[in-house]
Amino acid sequence: MYLRTILWVLIFCLIGVGAVHFREKKIQEHYKLTAITNETKPEIKWFTQILDHNDRNNKQTWQQRYYAYDKFYDPADPGLVFLLLEGEGTLSDNFVAKSYWIELSKKFKALAFYLEHRFYGESHPTSDFSMNNLKYLTSQQVLADTANFVKGINKQYKLSAHTKWVVFGGSYSGNLAAWFRLKFPKVVYAAVSSSAPLKAKYNFDEYLTVVVKSLRAKAPGVQCDQKVQAAHEELVKRMQESPEVVVKDFKVCKPYSEWSKDDLKYFYSSLTDDFAGLVQYDDVSSVGRKSYNYSINKVCNNIFKDNSPYTALVKFRELSRNLYKQSCFNVDYNNWIGSLKNESLSISPERLWWYQTCLEFGYFQTSDKVVSFFGNYFPIDYFEKICKSAYGERFTKKFSESGIAKTNHYYGGADINGSRILFVHGSIDPWHVLGVTESRPNMPRIYIKGSAHCADMYQQEDGDSKEINNARKKIKCYLEKWLHRKTVQ
């Protein structure tokens, strides 16, 4: 789901995601959501998982973390389990306390589990993240993990053979939820897939096109998209005439005299990331975003409306820096590449997620279609260089495109052929472009006008749009229909 922070896909809609510009900023935000109640406090558990599901002779195992919620489960009325899949991030009890998934678990009196993705969070199958170990980091291994987990839980809890499992996910884990139902239809009964970019694509140049359109759509009276365009044009001019002043204005950590050509590209890419994050999570309920008035409407009206374009851009970068607790604006490209090459377990999930995108998904949000708005400082070859620098020379464009083609062939891309899979997308979310575009028999799609990435995955709050609230009601209704039961009100 911006690419440097490409982690914006997904921590789970939390993505949650990033890279892909599923963005790392997303991950930081989701820990600020709400306090945990006794009812939503999880029981932290560990599941003995298989390392390599493709090699029966490999008997190695590892411990996979999961959260268990049984406070609303009714043993007298067994038969329903809700499973939430984490994506490119760590398990977050704060998110669960705020999620619509936990509310649905309560309404349906379901036994509920929240499963961490291999390699992320505290679920480490190997002693480090070396290339030799990352060969076990694939979507197919993850789906096999999930099937093995369901099998183990059925046995541990002595669940009936008639038990119905429903899997949930958002962003990248929304992909996993849909793919799990597709590939293991006898294991899982239904899936709810929110903001899932099912179609893998090397050059995802439509992403920033949607960002520009969303700026225009959400603040039409401000002409925000035109002001952003003018701001970047002025920025380019000032960078050519007095770059040292620009560096000071934007509080860049590194003196301009030490910049490389890659630092300049990274600078422009990172500024674009700010707008990508603003749009992608426009209406997500976050304490941080609300307290900083970090939404398209607020930023366009409070900053870009009455300031000169360049001044507005400087103020917006300062707002983003404060929101994400950055002491200064880091544009050191080589330092960032060094972090992607770091094989220790203590690093951020960026190395992991970038590896997955370079190997299986792409999702590279290039500047190719928005040159007039953000310049053409990060075209597709910029991302090929990142993959090769971080993971080796074999990660060429041809190599990545081959992996992406295999992904789409194996899962079907946006033309997935499954059943009892509910897809939910928001019109403002740039990721909807790679998702299911229309309802099909037994695979309905809910399209939320004016909504952003994974907004439906949160519980209802004051200020939520009528469209988002209606989408949540539709999700519940589809589940009632498929599961043949009414919910507790």
Co-location of 293 and 398 in the same domain = no
- At 179, the pLDDT band (50, 70, 90 cuts) reads very high
pLDDT per residue as tens digits for the range 191-241: 999 999 999 999 999 999 999 999 999 888 889 999 999 999 999 999 999
Co-location of 487 and 382 in the same domain = yes
Annotated catalytic residue 425: no
Q: How is residue 116 annotated by DSSP? A: P
Among 62-66, 89-93, 176-180, 282-286, the minimum mean pLDDT is found in: 282-286
Of 286, 306, 333, which marks where a domain is finished?
333
Co-location of 196 and 226 in the same domain = no
Count how many domains the chain has.
2
Indicate whether 36 pLDDT > 60: no
The pLDDT score that the predictor gives to residue 4 is: 43
261-280 and 224-241 helices, crossing angle to 10°: 160
- Domain of 105, CATH number, reads 3.40.50.1820
Annotated catalytic residue 429: yes
- At 246, the pLDDT band (50, 70, 90 cuts) reads very high
- At 83, the pLDDT band (50, 70, 90 cuts) reads very high
- How far CA 355 is from CA of 224, 346, 417, in Å, comes to 35, 16, 27
What is the torsional sign of CA 145, 61, 360, 127? positive
CA 451: distance to chain centroid? 15
Among 33-47, 398-412, 450-464, the minimum mean pLDDT is found in: 33-47
Annotated catalytic residue 171: yes
CB of 383 within 8 A of CB of 201? Answer: no
The pLDDT score that the predictor gives to residue 76 is: 79
SS3 107: helix
Q: Residue 77 falls within a domain, yes or no?
A: yes
The pLDDT score that the predictor gives to residue 464 is: 87
Co-location of 356 and 388 in the same domain = yes
The domain of 31 spans: 1-218+347-489
Which of these is catalytic: 171, 173, 195, 389? 171
User: Rounded to two decimals, what is the model's pTM?
Assistant: 0.93
Co-location of 137 and 228 in the same domain = no
Co-location of 356 and 427 in the same domain = yes
- At 10, the pLDDT band (50, 70, 90 cuts) reads very low
Give the ranges where 93-205 is alpha helix by DSSP (H).
93-98, 100-107, 131-134, 139-156, 172-183
pLDDT per residue as tens digits for the range 361-404: 999 999 998 888 888 899 999 999 999 999 999 999 999 999 99
Selection from 345, 337, 395, 336 nearest residue 130 by Cα: 345
**List of residues 6+ apart from 121 with CB closer than 8 A:** 65, 86, 89, 90, 91
Co-location of 211 and 243 in the same domain = no
Co-location of 122 and 59 in the same domain = yes
Mean pLDDT, rounded, for 250-269: 96
**List of residues 6+ apart from 226 with CB closer than 8 A:** none
Q: Residue 369 falls within a domain, yes or no?
A: yes
Co-location of 214 and 228 in the same domain = no
CA 251: distance to chain centroid? 28
CB of 323 within 8 A of CB of 288? Answer: yes
Co-location of 280 and 174 in the same domain = no
Which of these is catalytic: 193, 194, 453, 456? 453
Q: List, as one string, the DSSP characters of 264-314.
A: HHHHHHHHHHHHHHHHHTTT---HHHHHTT-SHHHHIIIIITTS-HHHHHH
Q: Residue 355 falls within a domain, yes or no?
A: yes
Q: Residue 342 falls within a domain, yes or no?
A: no
Of 305, 333, 361, which marks where a domain is finished?
333
- Domain of 302, CATH number, reads 1.20.120
What is the torsional sign of CA 17, 19, 24, 25? negative
Of 310, 333, 356, which marks where a domain is finished?
333
Which of these is catalytic: 93, 429, 456, 464? 429
Q: Residue 340 falls within a domain, yes or no?
A: no
The pLDDT score that the predictor gives to residue 42 is: 86
Q: Residue 339 falls within a domain, yes or no?
A: no
Taking residue 264's Cβ as centre, other Cβ atoms within 10 Å add up to 16
pLDDT per residue as tens digits for the range 320-334: 999 989 999 999 999
Co-location of 439 and 473 in the same domain = yes
Query: Which pair of structure tokens corresponds to residue 176?
Result: 């996993």
Q: List, as one string, the DSSP characters of 124-146.
A: -SSSS--HHHHTT--HHHHHHHH
% residues pLDDT > 90 (the chain):
77
Co-location of 38 and 67 in the same domain = yes
Q: Residue 452 falls within a domain, yes or no?
A: yes
- At 29, the pLDDT band (50, 70, 90 cuts) reads very low
Q: Residue 338 falls within a domain, yes or no?
A: no
SS3 316: helix
Indicate whether 19 pLDDT > 80: no
pLDDT per residue as tens digits for the range 297-346: 999 999 999 999 999 999 999 999 999 899 999 999 999 999 999 999 98
The pLDDT score that the predictor gives to residue 287 is: 55
CB of 170 within 8 A of CB of 196? Answer: yes
Supply angle C-alpha 472, 476, 482, rounded to 5: 145
